[in-house]
Structure 1
């Protein structure tokens, strides 16, 4: 059996949140994500879900031991995603409830970049390639 294409040559982030169903709704509204799969557990909690964010797969679920949501620990990981329009995506995400940590800025390494914190505590860095 082959490894599915979306998981080949990648480390797939799997984030834990409090309120995974609400997180999926937010990611759809803020980042244009698409839901691929959802497996519900007890009491309507999401045991495992997968969404697509600009061509990347993100796994997520409601936090249960041994996992904790980032607000309990502080964020220690950032999710980087290249997008065609970092300015538009940043505005959309802020309108949907994301906190803008750094506005879209041309960086010396050839990308226009913004940094946002989603309402579930995860930090996202969005980039659009530009000429250096």
Structure 2
């Protein structure tokens, strides 16, 4: 692909989930997602579901036998945290938890200038809700990171 001929980048998350129908319901309730397409297998089960979350394209699919594609809940490892900018982090967290998410980090004011909290969705994907509070100079963030580094046990 020649980047000079592409005017709008295309980016979508493709998440492996335990139960596509349950995940669709959670993403709709917790994140305000809208379903844009569902592809079904001959037996009527869902092969993939495409959703839109705050302008982001999101595809959901079940684990694929014989591959390393797996939901975090089956491996116990979440390799990424998906961060959504929101107007009210507390309300976003309450909505996510009401939909069945598990809190992994309580809402708090972070030193990098956001009010944030994290949940694990029903398949174990980590979602953070970031409410902008203030601009923080890089030097201030780096100083706080250095303080945290010094507190770590060696």
TM-score band, normalised by shorter chain: 0.7 to 0.9
Structure 1 unaligned segments of length 5 or more: list them: 1-7
The structure with more radius of gyration = 2
2:130 to 123, 127, 130: 127
- Superposed displacement of residue 106, structure 1: 1.2
The answer to whether the Cα contact below 8 Å between 1:45 and 1:62 also exists between their aligned partners in 2 is no
Are 2:6 and 1:9 aligned? no
**2:139 equivalent to 1:109:** no
Q: Normalising by structure 1, what TM-score?
A: 0.85
2 CA distance for matches of 1:22 and 1:42?
Answer: 20
Within 5 Å, give how 1:1-132 maps onto structure 2.
8-9=8-9, 11-65=11-65, 66=67, 67-73=69-75, 74-132=77-135
Residue 3 of structure 1 corresponds to which residue in structure 2? none
Judging by fraction of residues, say which structure has more strand. Answer: 1
Go from structure 1 to structure 2 and tell me whether the alpha carbon gap of 1:75 and 1:88 turns closer, same or farther (over 3 Å shift). same
Partners of 1:108 and 1:9 in 2: CA distance: 31
Q: Does the 8 A contact of 1:38 with 1:49 survive in 2?
A: yes
Q: 1:70–1:122: 8 Å Cα contact kept in structure 2?
A: yes
Runs of 4 or more above 4 Å deviation: none
Residue 44 of structure 1 deviates from its aligned partner by 3.2
Partner of 2:152: none
Quote the offset at 1:11 in angstroms.
3.7
In the superposition, the TM-score normalised over structure 2's length comes to: 0.74
Shift of 1:13: 1.3
